[in-house]
Structure 1
Amino acid sequence: MNPTPEKERAIPELVAEVYETALPCDQGHMLEQLLRPLGVLSLVAIADGVFAKIRFRAGWQELNVRLEDIHNVRSTDVIALVDHAQQVSMDAVDGLARLVLASPGLSGSAAAMVLVGLLLQRTRQGREDDEAKAMGMDDRMRDS
């Protein structure tokens, strides 16, 4: 069973809530985690291109979110970023769980812990689904 659509919709809002209360250095790490897998077209299309400006400023290979970048990112931008990142790379969003747990500043909020719980649940469910698919393939191979 996959996480419910309500939980999937809650993840971007929880990420934005955690982002809003995070220290600037943690905000930068969160953005870097989410931006890394996204391509040019994605970045231009999301939040009026605010993330494309961040990504292109230092060159494509080096992603380094600066303090002035963080000031230009609103919580609605983060919601749009997470929505899109989930479609491109669940690992990028799920990786936020490790980031939150590793940061004393982030892991202290209730929203962060709810977010981590949802992300870990989704990751665990994805592994179980992959195992079930693999077992189904093994069964089909034996039957043929």
Structure 2
Amino acid sequence: MNHNPTIEEASSERVTCQVSEITIAQLVGQVYEFAPPAERSRLLEHLLRPLGVLSLVAVANGIFAKISFRSGFPDLHVQIEDAQNVQASDVITLVNHVQQISVHAVDGLADMLAASPVMAGSAAAALLIAVLLQRARSRRAGDRALPPSMV
């Protein structure tokens, strides 16, 4: 039997994807909020790397542009003092923006967090890693289902 998705099913899949992206941003914000200062800097460096100047200025009232230019854009090194001035809500906004530009950059947080002994004990980090790995697996499975000309 050939199953063609209905409008409701397609809409449901889109909503699930959007909710997942929002949840990921909130989890990253929570991880950031409870991370030690050095880990906050590393997390910001990872998230800021794929962004251009215009994106840096547009996100969170330009706080990330100031940090990037102070740290020597494009060779990014976020100072601990700068990371302490960034709120979890700014990071949530940043993640939402980065997901639109490079989902792979956000997915790469899983490797970064898993490699950090400091973050290993964080329940929020463990949950975020699990969600990111699941999303990456789902995306790879979806890519395999596409014809080679569309990948």
TM-score between both structures, scaled by the size of structure 2: 0.84
**After alignment, is 77-86 or 110-119 more displaced?**
110-119
TM-score between both structures, scaled by the size of structure 1: 0.88
1:104 aligned onto 2:117: yes
One-letter amino acid matched to 1:27: R
Distance in 1, matches of 2:25 and 2:19, equals 11
Structure 1, gaps ≥5 residues long: 139-144
**After alignment, is 53-62 or 116-125 more displaced?**
53-62
**After alignment, is 95-104 or 53-62 more displaced?**
53-62
Whose relative contact order is higher, 1 or 2, with alpha carbons under 8 Å and at least 6 apart?
1
Q: In proportion to residue count, which structure has more helix?
A: 1
- Cα displacement string for residues 46-104 of structure 1 (whole angstroms, at most 9, x for unaligned residues): 11111001111132231000011012100110000000000000111001000110111
Distance in 2, matches of 1:131 and 1:108, equals 34
Q: Give the alignment partner of residue 63 of structure 1, picking from 62, 76, 81.
A: 76
Shift of 1:11: 0.4
Which residue in 2 is equivalent to 1:31?
44
Distance in 2, matches of 1:96 and 1:36, equals 12
Shift of 1:107: 2.1
Q: What value does the CA root-mean-square deviation take over the aligned residues?
A: 1.7
Structure 2, gaps ≥5 residues long: 1-12
Distance in 2, matches of 1:79 and 1:94, equals 15
One-letter amino acid matched to 2:25: P
